[in-house]
Amino acid sequence: MNAIAKPPQPPKSDVPPLPDPRQEILLHLPALRAFALTLSRDSVLADDLVQETLMKAWSKFHLFTPGTNLRSWLFTVLRNNMRSMLRKRSREVADVDEKMAARLASKPNQESNLALKEVELALDKLPAEQREVLILVGAMGFSIEEAAETCGCAPGTIKSRANRGRLALARLLGLAPGEKIDISDQATLAVMSQRP
């Protein structure tokens, strides 16, 4: 008889295969959109930023290292997209059709909206690095290490920026040391909390 040898089978592993990280992207969409919205202050622009982030991430997925933090990688892509857009906009004429002026002219209809608007305006006055860290660590719930990875700096730098940002924000809001802000928005409260 002529026996045909079967090709050797790879050894079976007890370690389950890693899930496809592309499927994990869907889990991060709400957080990506929320971060884009806080950075851009415009829901249409936030949607565009998230879409551009997903397109870039998908086309550059070969650069992602499986087993590393996908969320941090996606937030870094989004943050870089925002910075690129801001550099581009700095060369453009702003508010030609007066949409921004019309948006600023509308008044909120509740006191909590006024307090939230006051916090948003104060956040806008902070340096970009401090504002990003407060949003990532406070509002988005990133750990110090995740925020450091996203921002491309050391964890100690993130802690320092968060502390300086909170102090500056409290000063801009006219809060005394240790005084709590009277607002019901959980993300805003998280930004103002004392823990990094």
In the chain, ranges of CATH 1.10.1740.10 domains: 24-89
Please tell me which residue, 87 or 79, carries the higher pLDDT value: 79
Please tell me which residue, 25 or 107, carries the higher pLDDT value: 25
In this prediction, residue 159 has a pLDDT band, given cuts at 50, 70 and 90, of very high
* pLDDT given for residue 184 in this prediction: 54
For residue 91, what are its two tokens? 């060369």
In the chain, ranges of CATH 1.10.10.10 domains: 110-192
- Quick check: 40 pLDDT over 70? yes
Q: HSE on the CB side for 83, CA within 13 Å?
A: 10
Mean pLDDT of 16-23: 64
Candidate from 33-42, 102-111, 140-149, 150-159 with smallest mean pLDDT = 102-111
Q: CATH assignment of 110-192?
A: 1.10.10.10
Candidates 194, 122, 188, 184; CA nearest to 159 is 194
Mean pLDDT of 8-31: 68
Q: How far apart are CA 66 and CA 69, in angstroms?
A: 8
* pLDDT given for residue 155 in this prediction: 92
Mean pLDDT of 2-24: 61
The per-residue pLDDT for range 89-140, each reduced to its tens digit, is 777 666 667 776 666 654 445 555 666 778 788 888 989 898 888 888 887 8
Mean pLDDT of 169-191: 67
For residue 123, what are its two tokens? 């956040």
R_g over Cα of the chain: 22
- CATH class of this structure's domain 24-89: mainly alpha
